[in-house]
Each structure stands twice: as structure tokens, then as C-alpha cells.
Amino acid sequence: MSALIEQWRAGGREVAVVGFGKSGLAASRLLRQHGVAVYASDGGDGPRAEAQAVQLRGYGAEAQVGGHDLLRIARAVAVVTAPGVPPDVPALTAARAAGVPILAEVDLGLTALPAQTRVIGITGTNGKTTTTSLVAHVLSAAGRRAGTAGNIGTALCDVAADGTAPEWLVLELSSFQLHDCPHLAPWLGVLTNLAPNHLDRYHSLAEYYGDKALLFANAHAGSISIANADQPDVAAMMAPVPGRQLRFSTRTRADGWYDTDARALMLDDVRVCTRDELPLLGDHNVQNALVAALVAREAGLTPAEIAAGFRTFRAIPHRVEPVRTVGEVLWINDSKSTNVTSTEVAITALDRPFVLLLGGRHKGEPYGRLIPLLQGRCRAVIAYGESAPLVTADLAVAVPVVQGGTVFPAILAQAAMLAQAGDAVLLSPACSSYDMFDNYEQRGDQFRALVEAL
């Protein structure tokens, strides 16, 4: 048991968990496993929230749906928050006003991990999930006991509660998770890149970047960090970070770099593999692989072991994932692209004309930035979901835009009609999924199922 959880248990006071979902459930389960009283609440009141409340009560927690008892939260010894809960909601505002410490679910999980677990923390606007998966795969392929958790899918508190923490734990960390993570001090921290995102939740870009920087808040002289050498914003963020800093680049020599002439991924002067040995679409995945190579080298792997891991890796679901070729048209699932920058990356990865499925719930970014990448290459943009009017307003002046509506099978049917032999159909929405789906995974799964049925 962590010292923090033991302190709460011994004090006999209650911990408030704000927000259900997998994070809220995992945090409540871990706390109840160690005898800590839990009051969990969620603003939702639909069937899903009710079902989760039943599960929470099964752990022995008190669960409230449809709102929060602010006085009870203010009396708690601590508040644990799910990443989907905005920091300015009344429940968290009440906690701060009462001086109650607020921890992210991932932070609670960190306090309960075995001391021997080495944590690799990965954040950034784009590339987190692929990089996290790739690092864990390369380590596992070389015989290391490695796993993933965090934003990638498995709640860290579940890893701690199950006692399944591996020797090497690769954590994908979103800005929301980092916001309340005072105990985070990873063995190695990675910043993949920075770009505007989540401007529907943050008041400014500086505020969003500030949460990303929290990955390095507890860095010290013995810390190791890896960051993108090709972005000035990243360089500015990393300048004050103590410890040993490594850099990766696809433009110039660095600790990990891409030799464009030889088409080879390099670690200093040592070739790891050729570009053709990396079975992933797009130059952005070269960057992700360079990060993985640097992490693996720090973990003691040889270049040959790293290359072997690369050769057996496959694209993760929902991230520039080739699904199937139908009638000489390649269908690509990039549902995880929930911001404009990520969609730019996916478009750049294509080597053929394409139909783009763009839409969902707007996140505050203009879509006009895509125009230079679309002109002359995009057969048509199908604008769908809540953001369709905004997509149309931003793009129709320069590229063909078709209205897709809100029925997903009909949207794909339109795409099939518009695409020609040799084209691609790219689902890369640049928006969140919450207008039509529970999450981006559900959106991508439905896309894949519909494509498989063509």
C-alpha cells in the first residue's frame, strides 16, 4: 500500500472521486481495496452512469449520479478526479476553495506502484499513443517485462490494484491527466511535439502548453528526457528542465535522427534500420520510432534488438490504420485524430488522391489550415456531424465540400461513390467524437466494421 493511501485509511476520512468512467472506477476500486472510504459522484444521469454507480457500490463506495454534494467534497481528505472532468467545474472549485488536495487518477496510481517499476512518461499533442505502444512493443520483443497504461486505455489505478505492474511501465499522459499530478517523477519523460489542441477546454494555448510541461515539474539532475529537436516551442519548454536531455530529429543530426540520403533511422552514428523496415505509414511515424529507439537504448537494448522490434510492430487501431482495399480504394481509419494538427499529419502520410471524412464536435481550431494540403490532392471533403457548418465555411472556398449529415453508414456510402480507383478514403475527423459516438474508439470501430462489410 502506498504511504499516501495508508495515511488516508488510518485517518478514517473519506476521499471524494469526481467523475466516473474507467478512471473514476479504477481509483475507487483501488481505494476501497485498501479500506479507504469513498464518495464518488458524476454529473451524468443516463443509463451508463447508473450502471457505473452500481459497479462502484459493488466496491463498497457511495455513488451519486446526476450531480455532486459540494459540502461533502469540501470535507474530504482528498479529491481524485477523472481526466474528462474540466478543472473549473463546481465540484473541483469547491475542493480548491476548501483547501482539499486534488489528484488525477493516474497520480493516485503512481503512489501505489512498486518501487522497482520504472515509469516512462510520454506526452505531446500528437503521436503519444503510437509512441507508447511502440516503446512497450520494442521492450517486450527484446524480452523485457513491459506494459502500457494511462491515456492509452488501461487506468493506472487498475494496474496498481491488480498487482500487475511490469518492470517497465510506459504511460501515455494527456494534458488533462498531467493537470493534477504532483507525484509524477518518471524515470524518463518524453515530449513528442506541441501544437494547438483542446482550445474548447483551455482558455489559451499557453495554458494548454503549461499542463504539458508538468511532465517535467519534478525533474532533477538524475532525470532523463527526450524531446523533439525540430520545434522551437518544444525547445523553449525544455530549456529549464534539469537532467540529461536527448533529442530526436527528422531534419538534422541529433541523438536520434533520420538520414534522408540513406533512408535510415540512426542513433548517433549507428544505423538502427532502414525506413522500409518500419511497417508504418507517414514521416510522423519515423519520429515516433526515433523516440522508441532512444528510450530502448536507455533501457539497455542494442540497435539489433530495436530493429527486430520495429519489424514486428503493426499500426495501432484508429491511428492512420489501413483497414482494407475495396475496388482499388484504400480505406484508412484515423479516428484518433481529434485535432487539426493530427489530421495534417495523416494527410501528409498519404501518397495518393483521397476523400476526407472531417467532422464531429468542434474543438475550437479553424479548419482553413488544411487548405494547402487539400488543394490538388483531395477529391472531396465530406463534412459531417455538429461541426459540418464550420468545416464548410472554412474549406468550401478552396476545395469541394459535400454535406455528410449524421448517419455514419450514409457518410461512408457517399465516400465510396466519390472515391476513384487508386484513391484513399481517410477518416481523420480533426474533431472529438462526442456528438455521434461515446469516444474515438467507437467511431473507429464502426468505420472499420462498415468498411469490412463493403
Cell output for 418: 466519390
Strand-pair partners of 412: none
Quick one: pLDDT at residue 373?
Answer: 97
Q: What are phi and psi of 371, to 5 degrees?
A: -55, -50
Q: Per the domain annotation, does 316 fall within a domain?
A: no
> How far apart are alpha carbons 27 and 160 in whole angstroms?
10
User: 3-state DSSP call for residue 190?
Assistant: strand
Number of Cβ within 10 Å of residue 324's Cβ equals 13
Structural domains counted in the chain: 3
Are the C-beta atoms of residues 144 and 168 closer than 8 Å to each other? yes
Instruction: Return the CATH number at 212.
Output: 3.40.1190.10
* Same domain assignment for residues 184 and 286: yes
Write the DSSP string, 108-163. Answer: HHHHTS-TTPEEEEEE-SSSHHHHHHHHHHHHHHTT--EEEEETTSS-HHHHHHHT
Roughly what angle, to the nearest 10 degrees, separates helices 3-11 and 21-33? Answer: 70
Q: What are phi and psi of 401, to 5 degrees?
A: -125, 130
Q: What's the domain range around 72?
A: 3-107
Last residue of a domain, one of 107, 134, 154: 107
* Same domain assignment for residues 119 and 102: no
User: 3-state DSSP call for residue 44?
Assistant: coil
Are the C-beta atoms of residues 3 and 111 closer than 8 Å to each other? yes
* Same domain assignment for residues 199 and 266: yes
* Same domain assignment for residues 118 and 147: yes
> How far apart are alpha carbons 335 and 297 in whole angstroms?
31
Are the C-beta atoms of residues 206 and 199 closer than 8 Å to each other? no
Are the C-beta atoms of residues 146 and 139 closer than 8 Å to each other? yes
Roughly what angle, to the nearest 10 degrees, separates helices 128-141 and 284-298? Answer: 40
> How far apart are alpha carbons 422 and 367 in whole angstroms?
26
Greatest Cα-to-Cα distance within the chain, rounded to the nearest angstrom:
68
Quick one: pLDDT at residue 49?
Answer: 94
Query: Tens of pLDDT along the chain (454 residues)?
Result: 689 999 999 999 999 999 999 999 999 999 999 999 999 999 998 898 999 999 999 999 999 999 999 999 999 999 999 998 998 999 999 999 999 999 999 999 999 999 999 999 999 998 898 999 999 999 999 999 999 999 988 999 999 999 999 999 999 999 999 999 999 999 999 999 998 888 888 889 999 999 999 999 999 999 999 999 999 999 999 999 999 999 999 999 999 999 999 999 999 999 999 999 998 888 889 999 999 999 999 999 999 999 999 999 987 889 899 999 999 999 999 999 999 989 998 999 898 999 999 999 999 899 999 999 999 999 999 999 999 999 999 999 999 999 999 999 999 999 999 999 999 999 999 999 999 998 999 999 999 999 999 9
* Same domain assignment for residues 326 and 425: yes
Last residue of a domain, one of 286, 311, 336: 311
The helix, strand and coil proportions of the chain, stated in percent and rounded to the nearest 5, come to 40, 20, 40
- The end-to-end CA distance of the chain, in Å, is 52
- Strand 118-123 to strand 188-191: parallel, antiparallel, or no bridges (unpaired)? parallel
Instruction: Return the CATH number at 38.
Output: 3.40.50.720
Instruction: Return the CATH number at 367.
Output: 3.90.190.20
* Same domain assignment for residues 90 and 200: no
* 102: region left, alpha or beta (phi > 0 left; psi from -120 to 50 alpha): beta
Last residue of a domain, one of 311, 346, 379: 311
Query: Residue 422: which H helix or E strand, with range?
Result: none
